[in-house]
Structure 1
Amino acid sequence: MDVDPWSPAFVADPYPAYARLRARGRAHWFEPSGQFLVPRYADVSALLRDRRLGRTYLHRFTHEEFGRTPPPAAHEPFHVLNGNGMLDLEAPDHTRIRRLVSKAFTPRTVEKLAPVVARLAEELVDGLVEAGGGDLLTEVAEPLPVAVIAEMLGIPPADRGLLRPWSAAICAMFELNPDEETVRRAVAASVEFSAYLRELIARRRSAPGEDLVSALIAAHDEGDRLSEQEMISTCVLLLNAGHEATVNSTVNGWWTLFRHPEQLAALRAGEVALSTAVEELLRYDTPLQMFERWVLDDVEIGDLTIPRGSEVALLFGSANRDPARFDRPDELDLSRTDNPHISFGAGVHYCLGAPLARLELAASFGELLRRAPTMRLTAEPQWRPGYVIRGLRELRVEL
């Protein structure tokens, strides 16, 4: 099997390998990570909605009952933080927490953020234009979603520099087979970030504001409230999921546009709707290539029965290029309207922050198209070694 998530060549372009994988069948055992890889759109979409699979198994089984080894005690801070977030919970806890968080994180909340997002995008692009170029990742793509989430949570500007390093350290744990140094950094970041948020929550309890933390404290449903740990895990999840995806969608999207100059020219000329173009960029090169699920009850994929206790890896990047669902899937078509990509997932774990991500992407792409119409690449970028969350090290541009 030519899937190799640790190979720079595969990370740079996994799509030919995905095509071969789809052609060979619906599910494939992958020994290096101990997972079944699922590459086809129909299967990925169906399994995201299948309640026989879960992001956790601890609501039904102990580690031992599930045939798994408990994580070492030294890793506990990371697992407590991650395990109390919506993304890694199943019903009834997931249902309860998502319902409560949805009371605070409403479409109206996102709508009210629109002027803030527009202002931040304008300021960041102004800086890039005044400098005549630079690294699009560090100058625009990265600071925008971090600033938006920080603004939402009510984190003071002086503290915002702490967020990205914490997030990067924690998200590195989602790669396949992380080493001990990665684990050590993730645990340290989990301890520090949790302590910071615990203090912030205490301040908001005594002096509520207009921010999301205050709204999470106030959110209740039939007398039920979020615990402090659930609030902490929710805030970390909103930052990690909210900005990692948006940062990589921005730089991966611009790298795609630079390699398709005719499509970029059409977008700059206003011949293509920006919102439609953003959806196609998300489909064409999604930042989240793989989403993992535990098999809680035996599940059949074609002629193969995958037993309880297994782990499946749903290949989003492959599903989004499946010719059984998308016409000419390996072609970038910014005007594509039949585009049910699964870059934001599906089912009960569909990304709660998808409207905010779309708002941020439209703001930054729109501002760059308007203010930097001659922006061009100055050097071919290199990919970071991570595969699950896949993005560039930098994207150097000039105007």
Structure 2
Amino acid sequence: MMIPPFLSIDPATRHVSLDASNPAFYSDPNAVYAALHVHCPTFYWEQQKQWFFTGYDHVNSLLRDRRFGRQILHIATREELGLPEPDQHVANFDLAERYSLLELEPPEHTRLRTLVNRAFVSRHVERMKPELAELANKLIDGFEKNNEVELLSAFADVIPVTMIARMIGIPEEMGPQLLKWSHAYIRMYLFGRTREDEDGAERAAKEFSDYVKTAIAQRRANPRDDLLTHMIHTEHKGQYLSEDELVSTTIVLLNAGHEATVHQIGNSARIILESGRDPAALFKDEATTERTVEESLRICAPVHIFQRWALEPVEIDGISFKRGDKVSLILAAANLDPAKYSDPLTFKPDRNEAPNLSFGAGIHFCIGAPLARLELNVVLPILFERLPGLRLAHTPMVKDVYHFHGLDRLDLAW
């Protein structure tokens, strides 16, 4: 396995040097993951000053390991851990994140997730199939005659945000604004974020929160059959969600409910077209469609990294962690582990191997996975069936960020 020239690996110390902002890396991270699997599947990333895991079994078990958690301040103070005080210039962002399902640990996580979970189980989500198909067809009606399209703006951006907005009870004409807030908001999660990124995320969090508070007030006055009303009026063991919990939960559902799926619609369309396989065979029936979708999720996952705090001293793969250490799990690399997948860098929808880890595992398994899977299983067959002869018009442009893997543009023609 060739080591890319921009990657430096010292197998003896398991130290790796890699600039995440290098286009050669973020354009094709799979090549780097393949080299890491050969030489150093558990490694210390010098630029990030943290240990990372890429092996399937390690990532899968660490996602479920209760010695690690998404937060640490529920069991230790900042002073004990030597953590700095929170930055005041991102106070609104921190408040919006305080009760995020992604960040909480039990018992708070259990309570919030129980209240929200009912809306996302497969049988509820399945009912959205007809309106999902109708939306996909309507969007294609709008550009079919042009014989060309930039797929993200005309199709992939619109579908997930429209569906999650409808589900929660947010007017779908808010879609473009929700996308702007979301794009600004998630820049806080990126490596090497700038003060400009932080200020943009803070503004987005404030505006987003204010909007959600207004929507909550409207639902309190006029309940409807939507998820927001359900979250306001449903109790768990005698407790209702507080205003701050409602705001955090609504924001995380809106962000997570579309950001990754937008990326995955583009990623999947690209990988299918680049594979040279016949779309008619890939989407022949529900079973082949499902396999195609799962394989595209495996080979080009939209979210690459999830982090965990060590909640107690623990040793993993010969590395000792003390309480308060952070570790990173590369989901997208675990999906390429040659110990689990034959010829892992090849798109093979007929493979019958380990399930992909693109939605995580354990108590933080993605609550929106049934919705994301439904969207991909419905809209991708419609896209390829409606536009026979679909092809790449230009080389796809990958977003200039690592961590969330997706395209900036996907220009197609037929």
TM-score range, shorter chain: over 0.9
Give the match for residue 53 of structure 1.
Answer: 68
Conservation of the 8 A alpha-carbon contact between 1:169 and 1:189: yes
Query: Within 2, Cα distance between the matches of 1:332 and 1:2?
Result: 28
Match of 1:38 among 37, 48, 53: 53
Query: Within 1, Cα distance between the matches of 2:362 and 2:404?
Result: 20
Give the match for residue 388 of structure 2.
Answer: 373
Query: Within 2, Cα distance between the matches of 1:107 and 1:219?
Result: 20
Give the match for residue 91 of structure 1.
Answer: 106
Conservation of the 8 A alpha-carbon contact between 2:158 and 2:175: no
2:148 paired with 1:133: yes
Query: Within 2, Cα distance between the matches of 1:267 and 1:205?
Result: 46
Query: Within 2, Cα distance between the matches of 1:282 and 1:221?
Result: 34
Conservation of the 8 A alpha-carbon contact between 1:121 and 1:144: yes
Conservation of the 8 A alpha-carbon contact between 2:120 and 2:370: no
Match of 1:119 among 127, 131, 134: 134
CA-based RMSD of the aligned residues comes to: 1.7
TM superposition shift of 1:104? 4.1
Change (3 A) 1:202 1:269: closer
Taking structure 2 as the reference length, the TM-score comes to 0.92
TM superposition shift of 1:5? 1.4
Q: Which moved more, 1:39-48 or 1:217-226?
A: 217-226
Match of 1:3 among 18, 21, 39: 18
Give the match for residue 356 of structure 1.
Answer: 371
Question: SS of the counterpart of 1:327?
Answer: coil
Report the number of matched residues. Answer: 399
Give the match for residue 13 of structure 2.
Answer: none
Give the match for residue 255 of structure 1.
Answer: 270
Conservation of the 8 A alpha-carbon contact between 1:39 and 1:319: yes
Q: Which moved more, 1:292-301 or 1:356-365?
A: 292-301
Matches within 5 A, 1:281-300: 281-300=296-315
2:225 paired with 1:210: yes
Give the match for residue 338 of structure 2.
Answer: 323
Conservation of the 8 A alpha-carbon contact between 1:205 and 1:214: yes
Q: Which moved more, 1:207-216 or 1:21-30?
A: 21-30
TM superposition shift of 1:317? 1.4
Note the residue ranges of structure 2 that are not aligned, 5 or more in a row: 1-15
TM superposition shift of 1:176? 1.3
Give the counterpart letter for 2:237 in structure 1: E
Conservation of the 8 A alpha-carbon contact between 1:248 and 1:391: yes
TM superposition shift of 1:83? 2.3
Match of 2:348 among 333, 351, 355: 333
Give the counterpart letter for 2:155 in structure 1: V
Change (3 A) 1:2 1:270: farther
Question: SS of the counterpart of 2:102?
Answer: helix
Give the counterpart letter for 1:321 in structure 2: L
Q: Which moved more, 1:258-267 or 1:362-371?
A: 258-267
Taking structure 1 as the reference length, the TM-score comes to 0.96
Q: Which moved more, 1:296-305 or 1:89-98?
A: 296-305
TM superposition shift of 1:331? 1.4
Give the counterpart letter for 1:165 in structure 2: K
Conservation of the 8 A alpha-carbon contact between 1:26 and 1:301: no
Q: Deviations over 1:171-222 (max 9, x none)?
A: 1111113110000000000000000010001000110011111111122122
TM superposition shift of 1:269? 5.8
2:205 paired with 1:196: no
Matches within 5 A, 1:63-74: 63-74=78-89
**How many percent of aligned residue pairs carry the same amino acid?**
39
Give the match for residue 254 of structure 2.
Answer: 239
Conservation of the 8 A alpha-carbon contact between 1:103 and 1:219: no
Give the counterpart letter for 2:281 in structure 1: A
Question: SS of the counterpart of 1:18?
Answer: helix
Give the match for residue 413 of structure 2.
Answer: 398
Change (3 A) 1:64 1:23: farther
Give the counterpart letter for 1:295 in structure 2: A
Matches within 5 A, 1:274-313: 274-313=289-328
Matches within 5 A, 1:139-178: 139-178=154-193
